[in-house]
A and B are shown apart, each in its own frame.
Chain A
Amino acid sequence: MVTVVQNVQVLLLAGVLLAACLAKLAVREPVAAVPHAHGGTRVHGVPIAQGQAQVLLLLRGRRAGLVLGLVEGVLGLALLLSSQVLVRVVAAIGFAGATWAVLELRARRPEAGCGCFGGLSVKRVGRRSVLRAMLFTAAALASLGASRAGVEVPRLGTGRVAGVLALELVLFASLSPELAVLCGRGRRGALARALAFGRRSRRDVPCERRHSPLSETLATLHASSAWRTFENALVSAVPLDIWREGCHRFVVYRARLHETDMDIVFAVSTAARARTVRHALLPLPTANGSPVSKAAVVASTAAATDVGAPAW
Chain B
Amino acid sequence: MPAQRDPSARRRYRRAVLGGGPPPPTPPAAPLRVLTGTVLDASPHVLALATAAGEARLPMTARTTVWHGGRRGPAAPHPGQQALVRMDAAGLAADRVWLDIGRVTGTILSAGPDTLEVDLGPHRGRARVSLEPRAHQLVQVRHPRLEPGYLVDVLCVRSPTGPRAVAPATSQPGHRADDLASPAPDAPVPATTRGTATWTGWPGAPQTTGMGDGTTFPPGPGTTTSASEQSVARNDATSASRPGGVRNDMSSIPGRGSGTAFVPMPGATSGDPSFSPSDPGPGKSRDDRPFAHGLTRETSAPRPGGAGSGTSFVSNPGGVGGGPPEDAVAYPAVEGEGTAGGGGEAPPGCVPLPLLSVGSGLDVVNDCSGRGAAMTVAECGCVAARFCDRCVECGTSPRGRIVELGPVAFAALGGDLDAGCFNVKVRWGAEGGPW
A binding-site residues for B, Cβ under 8 Å: 32, 41, 43-44, 46, 48-49, 111, 124, 188, 191, 202-209, 211-214, 238-248, 250, 252, 263, 265-267, 270, 278-280, 282, 291, 294, 297-298, 300-301, 304
Closest to A113 in B: B179
Q: List 25 A-B contacts (CB under 8 A).
A: A43-B148, A44-B345, A111-B176, A191-B186, A203-B186, A204-B186, A208-B354, A208-B435, A213-B337, A214-B338, A239-B2, A241-B5, A241-B9, A242-B338, A244-B337, A244-B357, A246-B189, A246-B356, A246-B435, A247-B435, A248-B18, A263-B13, A265-B13, A265-B16, A298-B283
B148 CB contacts on chain A under 8 angstroms:
43, 46, 48-49
Interface contact B107-A44, CB-CB below 8 Å: yes
Compute how far the CA of A68 lies from the CA of B369 in the bound complex, rounded to whole angstroms. 58
Contact for A267 among B18, B119, B340, B359, CB less than 8 A:
B18
Interface contact A111-B179, CB-CB below 8 Å: yes
**Contact mask for chain B residues 331-358; partner A; CB cutoff 8 A; 1 contact, 0 none:** 0010101111000010000001111111
Interface contact B12-A282, CB-CB below 8 Å: yes
Instruction: Check if B178 is an interface residue, CB within 8 A of chain A.
Output: yes
B binding-site residues for A, Cβ under 8 Å: 1-5, 9-10, 12-14, 16-19, 107, 109, 119, 148-149, 175-179, 185-189, 273, 282-283, 333, 335, 337-340, 345, 352-360, 428-429, 432, 435
Q: What would 19 more interface pairs be, CB under 8 Å, given A241-B13, A242-B1, A267-B14?
A: A43-B176, A43-B177, A44-B109, A46-B149, A48-B148, A204-B186, A206-B187, A206-B189, A206-B352, A209-B352, A209-B354, A212-B337, A214-B337, A241-B10, A243-B358, A244-B335, A246-B428, A248-B14, A301-B16
B186 CB contacts on chain A under 8 angstroms:
191, 202-206
B contact patch SS: loop
Closest to A294 in B: B282
Closest to A192 in B: B185
B17 CB contacts on chain A under 8 angstroms:
250, 265-267, 278-280, 301, 304
Interface contact B13-A242, CB-CB below 8 Å: no
A282 CB contacts on chain B under 8 angstroms:
12-13, 16
B18 CB contacts on chain A under 8 angstroms:
248, 267, 278
Interface contact B360-A245, CB-CB below 8 Å: yes
B109 CB contacts on chain A under 8 angstroms:
44, 46
A174 to chain B, nearest CB (A): 22
Interface contact B185-A243, CB-CB below 8 Å: no
Interface contact B16-A240, CB-CB below 8 Å: no
Compute how far the CA of A244 lies from the CA of B360 in the bound complex, rounded to whole angstroms. 9
A252 CB contacts on chain B under 8 angstroms:
5, 13
Contact for B338 among A211, A243, A297, CB less than 8 A:
A243
B402 to chain A, nearest CB (A): 14
A278 to chain B, nearest CB (A): 5
A46 CB contacts on chain B under 8 angstroms:
107, 109, 119, 148-149
B9 CB contacts on chain A under 8 angstroms:
241
